[in-house]
Amino acid sequence: MEVMLQQKFFPVTSSDPFEVLDLRPLAIAAAGSERDVYLHPTDTALLIKTVNWARSSQIHRKRHWYKRFQREGGNRVIIAETVEYIATSTRQSAITGNSLMARIFGLVLTSKGLGLVVERIVDAHGNLAPTLKEVVARQGFNPELRRRVEEFVMALIDAHVIFNDVSASNIVVGFNASGREGLYLVDGYGSKQLIPVYSWSKALNARRILRRYDNMAKKLMAASDRLK
């Protein structure tokens, strides 16, 4: 006999970590091409990233043929990010954890589907940290900021991070939960290729990141020039 289970959503005050967290009353704090980001309702040091199924399934989005056979569907991005975070953290061998990315705390069941719980990077006032794109739009791409960005990109290359979408919107400038100030990768990383050549070859990955960073830097310089 088939048993029908009724899904129940629980208030944020629940102490059971496996109950489904209700995100419906919460406002979206940030949004990407396929995911929404919520402030964690009980921990100010954390965010919750969930797949927006309406956007991720839009007809115009390019889908590789092999992705039709992946059982995890749109949640594949969670797997890719988590694997990359683990691999990078292992290579860094840092006691305090990954210093290049917003640190991953774990997974949570939510009313919006499976959620990836990540570190909240903040500005000096405790608000969500601005993206590099936003920083440049406000103050320009001055030599000191360019130096910091170049050092950050070289650190990503040295750690062999698979950074697919080298965009200023995927890098934030602020403080992590431990109070460390710097640049942090928050999206656009993790191997997505059927044959993971960039995971296999650090040299190929480096050339790919540098090529894409060059395009990003040109866009930032153009945005900076418009401020003058």
111-157 per-position pLDDT tens digit = 999 999 999 999 999 999 999 999 999 999 999 999 999 999 999 99
- Average per-residue pLDDT in the chain? 86
The pLDDT, as a whole number, for residue 218 is 96
The pLDDT, as a whole number, for residue 194 is 77
Residue type, 33: S
Rounded-to-integer distance, Cα 11 and Cα 20, Å: 9
Q: Model confidence at 1, in pLDDT bands (50, 70, 90)?
A: very low
Q: Which residues pair with 175 in a beta bridge?
A: 122, 181
pTM reported for the whole predicted model: 0.85
Residue 128's closest CA among 22, 25, 44, 42? 44
Residue with tokens 């109950």: 19
Most confident listed range (38-42, 89-93, 213-217): 213-217
The pLDDT, as a whole number, for residue 61 is 54
Residue 154's closest CA among 202, 206, 216? 206
CB distance 178 to 96 below 8 Å? yes
Rounded-to-integer distance, Cα 121 and Cα 123, Å: 7
Share of the chain above pLDDT 70, in %: 82
pLDDT tops 80 at residue 17: no
Average pLDDT over residues 208-216: 97
Tens digits of residue pLDDT in 37-63: 999 988 999 999 999 877 665 545 566
pLDDT tops 60 at residue 170: yes
pLDDT tops 50 at residue 3: no
